[in-house]
Amino acid sequence: AVFNFGSINIDHVYSVPHFVQPGETLSSSSYQSILGGKGANQSVALAKANNNVFHVGAIGSSDSGFIEQMKEAGVNCEFIREMSDVASGHAIIQVTPDAENNIILFGGANQCISDDHIASALATAKPNDWVLLQNETNAIDKIITEAHKRQLHIAFNPAPMTESVKQLPLDKLTLLVVNEVEAEQLTGENDVEAIKRSLKSNYPNTKVLLTLGKAGVWFFEADNEEFCAAFKVKAVDTTAAGDTFIGFFLAAYQANKSIAEALKYACAASALAVMKAGAAPSIPSVDEVIAFLQT
């Protein structure tokens, strides 16, 4: 099983003729509220990849409908706490007719993961289970330390990247997943070969996935590296490409597929995700991924 300590965000998406100007009040022509957050997206991707996943996180109690959506996707939600005194994590997103967006993000309940919450979820984890983390919740340091003490595998996707990530005990990770921008910020290097050298020498016991958008993905560890090209598809919306990749890769890897097979499977799943609009709703099913690989 995977215990994903992750964010749940509600994306409030407003269509506007232009971004709101200082002092201006603007009417929106449409409004949607959509399940998002890297944490929730990765839990949904794992569940859709038929992997047993427990989402560990928190949400405002008036938004339990979003927990239902995660359950419907197959996510185990018994460790999601509903909080009556804190707002759900959310994003206020303005979208203009030329598809530009700007975003206000509020962490809310995602920043309220407590020590007893961490302990109660990890108490049920078994040897060989995984803990998965992104950088949209609090207590990352504590969760890595506690998971490591219990000898669980730990995967960390430091997104969005912040300076504080450099202070985390990253040597305890089994798997680090970064896109090119995150890798550049983490290492201070700006070409792929230099990034690989830096991560291999700083974290010799950690496996790394370096995703490069439509260029594909590198997997590497101290003495081995493999590349997988991305599938050539018409990208409509690349939101959740990385989240889909992580979910399908981890599912295949846990099912003892080879690295090459896991990479190809995850590239296929994320190619399908970029062909569809939206975050969680764009994540494909296993059947869709298998059908795509057979074409």
Per the annotation, where are the binding residues? 9-11, 37-41, 136, 179, 211-216, 237, 239, 242-243, 273, 276, 278, 282
Give the nearer residue to ligand ADP in terms of CB position, either 86 or 269: 269
Kindly state the smallest distance separating residue 275's Cβ from ligand ADP, in Å: 8
Closest residue by Cα to residue 123 from 171, 56, 60? 56
91 binds ligand ADP (CB under 6 A): no
Q: Is 242 in the site for ligand ADP (CB under 6 A)?
A: yes
From 145, 210, 217, select the one nearest 176 (Cα to Cα).
210
- The number of beta carbons lying within 10 Å of the beta carbon of residue 254 is 19
Count of residues engaged in binding ligand ADP, rule: CB under 6 A: 19
Look up tokens 């961490």; give the residue.
Answer: 118
Would you say 254 or 282 has its CB closer to ligand ADP?
282
Question: Is 63 annotated in the active site?
Answer: no
CA 239 – CA 11 distance, rounded (Å): 12
Q: For 124, phi and psi rounded to 5 degrees?
A: -95, -5
Question: In the complex, what is the shortest distance from the CB of residue 263 to ligand ADP, in angstroms, rounded to a whole number?
Answer: 8
CA pair distance 249, 263, nearest whole angstrom: 6
Shortest distance in whole angstroms from residue 2 CB to ligand ADP: 18
Task: Exactly one of 129, 171, 191, 243 is catalytic; name it.
Answer: 243
Angle 157-71-82 from CA coordinates, rounded to 5°:
80
Tell me whether residue 79 or residue 248 sits nearer to ligand ADP (CB atom): 248
At 70, phi and psi to the nearest 5?
-70, -40
Please give the Cα distance from 246 to 162 (Å, whole number).
20
Q: How far is the CA of 2 from the CAs of 137, 218, 250, in angstroms?
A: 17, 23, 9
Known binding positions for substrate: 9-11, 37-41, 136, 243
Task: Give residues 107-146 in contact with ligand ADP (rule: CB under 6 A).
Answer: none
Of positions 87, 216, 257, 292, contacts ligand ADP by CB under 6 A: 216
Strands 9-15 and 101-106: unpaired
Q: Which of these segments, 147-155, 168-176, 198-206, 226-234, binds ligand ADP (CB under 6 A)? A: 226-234
Residues in contact with ligand ADP by CB under 6 A are 179, 211-214, 216-217, 230-231, 233, 235, 238, 241-242, 245, 267, 270-271, 274
Active site residues: 243
